[in-house]
Amino acid sequence: MNSNILVIGGTGKTGRRVVEQLQKKGIEPRIGSRSATPSFDWDNKDTWVRSLEGIERMYVTYYPDLAVPGAKESVESLTYLAKEMGVKKIVLLSGKGETEAEASEKIVMGSGVDYTIVRASWFNQNWSESFFLDPILSGEVALPMSDVLIPFVDADDIAEVAATVLMDDTYNGEIIEVTGPELITFKDIIGMISTSSDRSLKFHEITLQQYVEGMRQMQIPEDVVWLIEYLFSHVLTNPENQVITNDVERVLGRKPGTFLQYVEETAKTGVWNTNIVLDHEPI
């Protein structure tokens, strides 16, 4: 068993996929999560030391997002502890167009440890594994900024890029920006999901204020409400986040998957036709 690789967030959307990618390479990484043994909890620094023992390389995701208050301080503490304990390389998942997340990036970049930053656009899987799923299941999708063009990217592509740069030192010192191959709008997405899942989804254009009020009425945790409002008001409209890159193809030697491919494959699972209970996990 090869356990000198740590995947923090190893049960999350990208983390579990990074684990799968490493396993395909014959590597059995250590899982960094509260349910793992040893456990890793961002809110309990006592768990960090045991998780880092013997680790040489680590993939880091911060829940719920690097933009939230306190993320920078936690990443800083973990980074310098990792350096003290002999970690040689850190791959940090960040957000494309997220100014707040850049503070955490700079900490990793200035730590003296080898690093690669992976900046990702909005995940396709937000529509099947996160906060956009509930409205799809209800059949009534109400969102603000429905005409903004977004280069949604598949979590499988993010994970394959992350696993590759984690093990390949030719990408040390780089910022890799991963996007999908096209710019699409929320209206485009609802149309694709409606067709592929054989459902009649109704789309309603609302203001950001109405969207935030609606989340509070649904008793979504306040830190999640804050984050989603931040993502809509600062990230979605950031011109930097409306640019398609070729970094997926550069690293993997193939084009990223299209949103339609994601929709068609996801529709086969029946997730959009099932009434399920969802944990609200932002990107």
Give the CATH number of the domain where residue 79 resides: 3.40.50.720
Host H or E run for residue 58: strand 57-60
Tens of pLDDT, residue by residue over 249-265, are: 999 999 999 999 999 99
Give 276's pLDDT tier (boundaries 50, 70, 90).
very low
pLDDT class for 2, splitting at 50, 70, 90?
Answer: low
Please write the tens of the pLDDT for every residue from 63-78: 889 999 999 999 999 9
**163 located within any domain:** yes
User: CA-based angle 156:160:162, to the nearest 5?
Assistant: 115
Does 221 fall in a domain?
A: no
Look up the pTM and report it. Answer: 0.94
Q: Return d(Cα 150, Cα 156) in angstroms, integer.
A: 18
* 282: pLDDT strictly greater than 70: no
Q: Which of 92, 103, 109, 106 is nearest to 162 (CA)?
A: 92
Separation in Å, CA 24 to CA 2, 13, 127, 160, 163: 13, 18, 26, 11, 10
Q: What is the 3-state secondary structure (H, E, C) of 222-243?
A: HHHHHHHHHHHHHHCCCHHHHC
Q: Residue 220: pLDDT band by 50, 70, 90 thresholds?
A: confident
Q: Are 136 and 27 in contact (CB under 8 A)?
A: no
187 falls within a domain: no
Give me the number of domains the chain comprises.
1
Q: Note down the domain range covering 58.
A: 5-121+154-179+243-256
In a domain, 208, yes or no: no
Percent of the chain whose predicted confidence (pLDDT) is above 90: 89
Q: What is the pLDDT of residue 241?
A: 86
Instruction: Give yes or no for a contact between 193 and 201, defined as CB atoms under 8 angstroms apart.
Output: yes
- Residue 30 counted as domain residue: yes
Q: With contact defined as beta carbons under 8 Å apart, do 83 and 108 qualify?
A: no
Does the residue 146 lie in any domain? no
- At residue 110, the pLDDT reads 98
For residue 141, being part of any structural domain is answered with no
Is 263 within a domain? no
